[in-house]
Amino acid sequence: MSILVTRSSMPTLEEYTEEIRPIFESHWMTNMGPVYKKFQSQLKDYLQVPELSLFVNGHMALEMALHALGLRESGGEVITTPFTFVSTTHAIVRNELTPVFCDIKADDYTIDPEKIEELITDRTVAIVPVHVYGNICEIEKIQRIAERYKLKVIYDAAHAFGVTYKGIGVGNFGDASIFSFHATKVFNSVEGGAVAFHDRHYCQKLHELKNFGIQDQETVTAVGGNAKLDEFRAAMGICNLRRMDVCLNARKRIAERYDARLGNIAGIKILSRKRDIAPNYAYYPVYFDEAVFGKSRDDIYKALEKEDIYARKYFYPAVNELECYRGVFGSDTPIAHKVSNRILTLPIYEELAMEDVDRICSIILQGRKN
């Protein structure tokens, strides 16, 4: 059987059936019904955030969070990272804002706060950093810059579900944080997403934006869209939330096995885990330095593929090298470029067998130079 980079978590059919039974009784399938409300309240507790607004996916959560914070009207510049999933940049551009790409740090691949200030102009309105692979950005430094220049900070926390920093839920930082519950993420509601924030003021705004700008039956106050999470997906989320501990423990064991086998090899760099961060083991990225290791990232990718194992080149190409952005929004990000050419994320998911983890490591280590 093929091994893919991830395998979506699912409850048993019986458990899901039980959860959706009330929907069949009430015929209330969407429009923020009781299952949505239950899911929202459970998630708020789990993520330890003051306010949470659910969305149909992480992308719309980010797009509408930028809109709700009043950035769309500014037409300004937003400093962000090119080492992310395209959604981050698309959300900025689709709000008619201009992305300005800032390079990343070589150690944990998050935005380099030392390089943000030189990119700030009088048009800059916000910073959109990404907690890539669940690595937490340099929150304090970013906050200080934001305060000095009066910029909004919206964290793309799509990779950081359930991660805590110094014991605080990651959704508590900046003006807002967005999460994704896509099927391929560490936690899923099939498709789904959320915006976490402090300021109650945004509750109504986000609610309106995701529901056509409707305030009540006869009052439409904003040009909203449709990005509501429905009851069936909320039910899937409720089921999967129950399984999070089991899922995280399994991922942790796999990550530790990879650490043990790949952690001390010259020319291979695994993620260094920081003391202050309780991780979610969502991804297992490995950096290959061909000059030392003797094989390139692409060599390893192909060697695994030959054995029916499909690792992923997340994130290659870097976003500012994609067709739609290359040469459009200029900026030189040499580290992001270098990392995106050398990184491979290995399979990690609850049911991945330890023998398969060992087999993946053996394939990687076969025929290396040292």
Instruction: Tell me which residues touch ligand PLP (CB under 6 A).
Output: 57-59, 84-85, 87-88, 130, 156, 158-159, 180, 182, 193
Our CB check for ligand PLP shows the closer of 59 and 228 to be 59
Q: At residue 354, what is the residue type? A: M
Shortest separation between residue 307's beta carbon and ligand PLP, angstroms: 26
Our CB check for ligand PLP shows the closer of 138 and 262 to be 138
Taking the CA atoms of residue 103, residue 109, residue 110 and residue 112 in that order, the dihedral angle to the nearest 10 degrees is: -40
Our CB check for ligand PLP shows the closer of 61 and 360 to be 61
Shortest separation between residue 9's beta carbon and ligand PLP, angstroms: 15
Shortest separation between residue 56's beta carbon and ligand PLP, angstroms: 8
Instruction: Give the CB-nearest residue to ligand PLP.
Output: 58
Our CB check for ligand PLP shows the closer of 88 and 261 to be 88
Nearest Cα to Cα of residue 330 among 322, 338, 340, 320: 320
Sign of CA dihedral 163, 169, 172, 178: positive
Is 142 in contact with 79 (CB distance < 8 Å)?
no
Is 339 in contact with 106 (CB distance < 8 Å)?
yes
Our CB check for ligand PLP shows the closer of 165 and 293 to be 165
Our CB check for ligand PLP shows the closer of 187 and 258 to be 187
Is 175 in contact with 69 (CB distance < 8 Å)?
yes
Beta-sheet pairing, 219-220 with 214-216: antiparallel
Shortest separation between residue 1's beta carbon and ligand PLP, angstroms: 25
Find the angle CA(47)-CA(51)-CA(54) to the nearest 5 degrees.
80
Shortest separation between residue 315's beta carbon and ligand PLP, angstroms: 9
The count of C-alpha atoms lying within 13 angstroms of the C-alpha of 271, restricted to the half-sphere facing its C-beta, is 25
Nearest Cα to Cα of residue 198 among 229, 171, 178: 171
Axis-axis angle for helices 297-306, 354-365 (nearest 10): 130
Shortest separation between residue 49's beta carbon and ligand PLP, angstroms: 17
